[in-house]
Structures are given as C-alpha cells and as structure tokens.
Structure 1
Amino acid sequence: MTLRILVITADTAFNLKLCKDLEADGHVVDGSSSAEDAKLRIRELPPDLAVISWHLPDMPGIELCRQLRLRRESMELPIVMLTDRTDEAARVRCLETGADDVLTMPVSAAELLAHIKAVVRRHNPQLIVDALRAGGIELNRVTHRVSSRGRELKLSSVEFRLLMKLMENSGRILPRALLLDHVWGSDVYISERTVDVHIARLRNCLRDTPARNAIQTVRGLGYSFVSP
C-alpha cells in the first residue's frame, strides 16, 4: 500500500522527521507549514490522507479540518489530527469537526502509521486488499498479475502501477501530477505528457477486455477509471 500523505505542522523539524519516517514506510509524502498553503496543495493535488497538527500559524488545525470538510475536493479526505492537549473535550471537538482520528503528542512513527492504515482501511478498502476487481479486470498486488476472463494481460511495470492507482480510486479523477508522483516518484522530473503516452499504451493492453473504455480522459483535469 502506497499512500500520498500531506503532513501539516508548524514545527519544521518535526514535519521533516515525520515525512522521512512515512517515506521510509514506502509512502509519497509532502509537508506543509500553514493552513492556507495546505488548502492550496490539496486543491491542486489531492492526497490520500492528511495529518494535521492542532497548532498552525494562520489558524488552528481544527478550523482547517472544519474548512476542508466544507470543500468538495476534500469533504471525504481522511484526516488524522495531532494535538498536545490531553483533555477529552479537545478530542471530542476534533472528531465532531470532521477528523477521522485524533492522536495525542508525542507520538511515535509506528503508532501514527498504524492509525493511518486503520483510517484508510475504513475509508478506502481498495488500498488495502491484495486483489482489485473492477470493469472485468482483476489485478493482484502481491503477484503483479493482471487478468481478464481468466486470460493474463501482459503489462509493463509502469502500466501495472498506473492501472493499480486508477483501480484503487475507481470513479475518482486523478490529476496527471498525482499519477506522476505515484508511478514514477516525486524525485523524478519528467513531463506530464509522459502520463498520456503510457495511458495510451495501457488502453491498448485493455482493448480486448470489458474494460477497453474504462480509462476516461477528463479534459483539463486528468484520468478516471470508470467500470463499464
């Protein structure tokens, strides 16, 4: 399971350490130090999950959580809140405002990862299971095999990762930049046009399956996998 995680904390050193710990677990992680910057990042490139600290320089993290729940692109975004407050009332406020989970600082990377996975498991089980099934296609994360109607499809490693990300988020529009991060990595600088080229190759691999028209282009936004 590889997640795109946005970490929003005012403490630069803590933010950097947390990002490194999450990246070491195989995730694509981005850091933000303010609520306004975080809202811009989420609008441009929606993450799979956000970790939000209670203390931010421009507004409380709980207010950011409330605002994100009012925006179309983030109303269903899994959110884990971090707080140094130990009173029950603070935890209840976080949950009532829209957080999916609340952790009291200090927290270890292992504990945070366990809570992140639990939250994602509730929100999007497709990111957890070994086998994905949609549009007449079965994709197995463990064996890296893709098949349709019992026939194995020959995909390159890039095509496999593209299809996996699209199927994990079936029905959701994925921007090209997000696909670049998940398939090629955030440290690789290549054109978004590369995504278009590999999407065309992937569509060709699916041409004789029920999913031949499942990968749809959303003009100006990106791609979406829509089960026929």
Structure 2
Amino acid sequence: MTLRILVIDTDAEFTSAIYDHFEHNGDIVDVTERADEAKLKISELPPDLVVLAWRLADASGIELCRQLRLRRDSAQLPIIMLTERTDEAARVRCLETGADDVLTKPVSTSELLAHVNAVVRRHRPHLIVEALRLGGIELNRFTHRVQYMGRELKMSPVEFRLLMKLMENSGRIMPRALLLDQVWGSDVYINERTVDVHIARLRSCLRGTTADNAIQTVRGLGYSFVA
C-alpha cells in the first residue's frame, strides 16, 4: 500500500529519518512543524494518516488534535501522537483528545511504521487491499510487483506508483497536477511534463499485454486508466 502521511513535528533530525524510511517503503511523506500550516495541508490534500508531536512551533499538539477532531474534513482522520512524557496521564490525555495511538519518544522509525500500519488496518482497511486486478494486470501493493498472466512486468518505483494511482482511480480522469501530488509529493517541484515522460515509459512497460491501450490521454486534462 502507498500511504500519504503528514508528519507534524519540530524535531528536524527525527522528521528527516521518518521521511527517508517511509519514502523508501513507498509512501509519500509531507512534513511541517506548524499547526496552521498542517491544517491548510489537510484541507488542500487530505493525508491518509497524521503523525503529530506534542510540541509544535506555534501550538500544542494536543490542541491541534482537538481542533482536527472538530473539523468535518479531519474528524475521522487517523492520528498517532508522539510525546516525550512518560507518565500515564499524558498518554490518557492524548487518547481522550482524539488520538488513535500514542508513542513515547524516542521511537525508532521501524516501530513507528508498525504502528502506522496497525492504525491504518483498523481505520482505513480499504487502503490495505493487497492486489489490484484490472485489464489483465495484477498489481501487488505489498510486494511492489506487477504481473501479466504470471509474467512479471519490470518498472521503476515511480512508474509503479503511477500505475497504482491510475488503477485505483480506474475510469476517472486524473489531472497531471494531481498525479504529481500523489506520486511525487506536493513538496517536489517538477514540471508537469515529467508526468508525460513517465506515462510514456509506463505504456512501454504494458506493451504486449491486454492493457496495452488502457492508459488514455484526455486532451488538455490528464490521463485515465480504462480497462
């Protein structure tokens, strides 16, 4: 599965480690240290999960968690809170405020990833469907493998994520800007022409399959996967 994760924390070293670890796992990570910016990001492009620290640059994580639970666009958003406090009262307060899970710092990126996956399994089960099957193509989110009639199709991580997003939204028009955000991340500044280049490469990967012409260009808008 590819998750979009928003990390809200002032610890630059820790957020850098999270970014590297989760991106390597195939997820898309966005980072901020401010509550006001976090709320804007959630409104513009809702993440699948939020990792929220107790201490932020402009507010407390507890207060931000409370505010997010009062908003329609984030009332059900999975939230994992991080705190340096070890007392039971702190953990209870986090949970009572609306956090789905609480971890005490320091925490390893591997442990955090395990908790992220556990929370997603509980609250966003549709995100962990193991395989997508369309047009004779089978895409496995867990193994990052794409197969056609038992034959593995070789493609880069970017082409894999691009195909996954198109298959997840089969029949819908996916604008280039949206694909850029969902495949490369909102903080990566690249030209929309990059999408066209990788679409061409992805089509080459699918050549010779029944999905050869599944990726259709919608002139002036973007692309659509039609199986």
Could you state the TM-score of these two structures normalised by the residue count of structure 1?
A: 0.68
Residues 35 and 64, structure 2, Cα contact 8 Å, conserved in 1:
yes
Let me know the Cα RMSD of the aligned residues: 4.6
Say which SS state the counterpart of residue 82 (structure 1) adopts.
Answer: strand
Aligned to 1:217: none
Question: Would the alpha carbon gap of residues 111 and 47 (structure 1) be closer, same or farther in structure 2, given more than 3 Å must change?
Answer: same
* Farther-moved stretch of structure 1 (57-66 vs 123-132): 123-132
Aligned to 1:48: 48
Q: Kindly state the Cα deviation for residue 69 of structure 1 after the two structures are TM-superposed.
A: 1.4
Aligned to 1:97: 97
Residues 28 and 184, structure 2, Cα contact 8 Å, conserved in 1:
no
Separation in 1, partners of 2:33, 2:160:
34
Q: Kindly state the Cα deviation for residue 183 of structure 1 after the two structures are TM-superposed.
A: 2.7
Q: Which runs of 5+ in 1 are unaligned?
A: 200-211, 213-221
Question: Would the alpha carbon gap of residues 160 and 84 (structure 1) be closer, same or farther in structure 2, given more than 3 Å must change?
Answer: closer
Separation in 2, partners of 1:17, 1:37:
21
Cα distance per residue 1:37-63 (max 9 Å; x no partner):
111111122212111000113221011
Question: For residues 70-149 of structure 1, what are the structure 2 equivalents within 5 Å?
Answer: 70-132=70-132, 140-141=140-141
Separation in 2, partners of 1:159, 1:24:
15
Separation in 2, partners of 1:53, 1:169:
33
| Percent of residue pairs identical | 70
Residues 51 and 82, structure 1, Cα contact 8 Å, conserved in 2:
yes
Aligned to 1:180: 180
Q: Kindly state the Cα deviation for residue 20 of structure 1 after the two structures are TM-superposed.
A: 2.3
Say which SS state the counterpart of residue 74 (structure 1) adopts.
Answer: coil
Say which SS state the counterpart of residue 6 (structure 1) adopts.
Answer: strand
Cα distance per residue 1:120-166 (max 9 Å; x no partner):
111222322322479xx97544585689xx9xxx9x98887456336
Q: Kindly state the Cα deviation for residue 23 of structure 1 after the two structures are TM-superposed.
A: 2.2
Could you state the TM-score of these two structures normalised by the residue count of structure 2?
A: 0.68
Question: Would the alpha carbon gap of residues 188 and 30 (structure 1) be closer, same or farther in structure 2, given more than 3 Å must change?
Answer: closer
Question: Would the alpha carbon gap of residues 187 and 53 (structure 1) be closer, same or farther in structure 2, given more than 3 Å must change?
Answer: closer
Aligned to 1:203: none
Letter in 2 for 1:97: T
